[in-house]
Each structure stands twice: as C-alpha cells, then as structure tokens.
Amino acid sequence: MRALVVAAVAMAGLSACAIPPYDDFRAGPGACLVVGSSGFMFDRNCTRFELAWLPGAQRLTVGQRGPDDIEILEVSGRHRLITVRRIREGYYCALARDYPRPRVTRDCRTTDPVHPPISVRG
C-alpha cells in the first residue's frame, strides 16, 4: 500500500495538471487535488502547498476565482469559505470566512519545507 502511495505521489509530481472549476477530492483524471487531515493540494500550476494549517481541511470543494486564487469550501465539520492566494512562488495567504457568522481570518504561510503528501487522485 505504501508503494502505491509513493507511486501516486511521484506521478502527481510529474504529470501536467489543472483543477477543474468546482471539483472536489473525487476529481477526474485531469484534476490535481490532494487532500487529507494533514494533506496537500496542488494549484493549477501544480505547485504544492500545505493545507494542514487550515483546521479540519479534509473534504473540500475547489473553484478558481483568479489566476492565483483557489477557492475552497469546506464541507466537513462547519462550513467555511477559504480563498488561498499565491503571493509569490512558494508563499500563500489563506482568507477564511466562517459561516453562518462570517468572520474573516488571514493566515500566510510558506510551503517550504514540503513534506510528501498522501495522494488522492481520480
């Protein structure tokens, strides 16, 4: 099983990919989405960034708002809308809005060092 995970991670890193608008973690073959309780996600340029610092980020719906933005709607636990914006290569800001009482929080993180993700690919 571990060999399969390692192979999937290697394939994900080598393949060209894009996130289809409003796809989720059961995405099809063209998707580049990796999630987990301490998981990662790929943006449309196949850049890895860590989602572990987004509390409860386990089941996500993804859409694109702009060339460097990824919109995330968390559907496990409480609902929240998170926009992840790439500030520069390897550096991201997450703007989270909790529902039903919107409260904007901002968190900026770098992706380095990047730990190997557990790949969940369609």
* CB 49, CB 94: distance < 8 Å: no
> Whose CA is closest to 115, among 62, 33, 51?
51
Average pLDDT of every residue of the chain: 45
Q: Is residue 115 part of a domain?
A: no
Our count of domains for the chain comes to: 1
pLDDT digits (tens, 9 = 90+) for 56-115: 444 444 444 455 555 555 444 445 555 666 555 555 555 555 555 555 555 554 444 333
**Assigned domain for 56 exists:** yes
Residue 120 is assigned to a structural domain of this protein? no
Is 61 contained in some domain?
yes
What domain range includes position 76? 2-110
Does residue 14 sit within a domain? yes
Residue 116 falls inside a structural domain: no
Q: What is the pLDDT of residue 55?
A: 45
Does this model's pTM top 0.95? no
Provide the pLDDT for residue 80. 55
The verdict on residue 122 lying in a domain is no
pLDDT band, very low/low/confident/very high, at 116 (cuts 50, 70, 90): very low
Residue 97, beta-bridge partner list = 81, 104
